[in-house]
A and B are shown apart, each in its own frame.
Chain A
Amino acid sequence: MKRAAVVTRPIDPGALLDQVRSREFGAVSMFLGTVREISDGRQVSSIDYSAYVPMAEAELDRIIGEAIEKFGIGAVVVEHRVGPLELGDVSVAIATAHQHRGPALEATSYLIERIKSQVPIWKLEHYADGAAGWVDPTPVVARA
């Protein structure tokens, strides 16, 4: 099992776990990203995620290929949700499986770091005071 998708429906973490579990693996690892209520000290009310979907899915496939090559995981499923999300909703889920725990845990960590830096997905935070802002995790570099 090897699958990545950008979805508009709620993510079902249990379904992902079922898709990677198998008798041949002794370890299943899962990461969930969820919508946090405080961002940079501001009260968040909801988040709109958007994506360049065909490229995001292509990048997810590429990153999964890297993780398989680096860690030898035998199964991996990644889903990232887009659209309006409420506090506590799951925005991203990663499930990996391997014969042993080390590579499964390392692959999951590798995948979320790569997803955060490479996959064209954006986040518009809506705040409790009515304002909204695009999240930009990269440091500001002064223009020459």
Chain B
Amino acid sequence: MSTVTVQLFASYAESFGTTALEIPVKAGTSVSDLISAIRALPGSEIVRDSVRVAVNRQFASPEQVIDPRDEVALIPPVAGG
């Protein structure tokens, strides 16, 4: 089974204690599967149901399938401006 690197930022990086997670993926693993896997990890209490995932620098739908080579990031609630 291969893994995908998930970048973490801001409050999420602080809560997980790292700026990247390696999450196992298999053929057909979706964004919502990825979130479920991340939710099982220590530090994930901060991750809300409303969390957004970016794939290749674009917000992804829960159904989008993840490829191990994708650039994936977990996006905490944004607060720019």
Chief secondary structure at chain A's binding surface = mixed
- Tell me which of B14, B48, B75, B80 contacts A123 (CB under 8 A): B80
A residues contacting the other copy or chain, number (CB 8 A): 32
Chief secondary structure at chain B's binding surface = loop
Tell me, yes or no, whether B40 is within 8 Å of chain A by CB. no
Interface segment, one of A21-29, A50-58, A98-106: A50-58
Q: How far is the CB of A6 from chain B (nearest CB, A)?
A: 9
Q: How far is the CB of A129 from chain B (nearest CB, A)?
A: 19
Tell me, yes or no, whether B81 is within 8 Å of chain A by CB. yes
Tell me, yes or no, whether B11 is within 8 Å of chain A by CB. yes
- Over the window 53-81 of chain B, the binary record of Cβ atoms lying under 8 Å from chain A Cβ atoms (1 yes, 0 no) is 01001110000000000000101111111
Tell me the B residues contacting A by CB distance below 8 Å. 7, 9-11, 14, 48-50, 54, 57-59, 73, 75-81
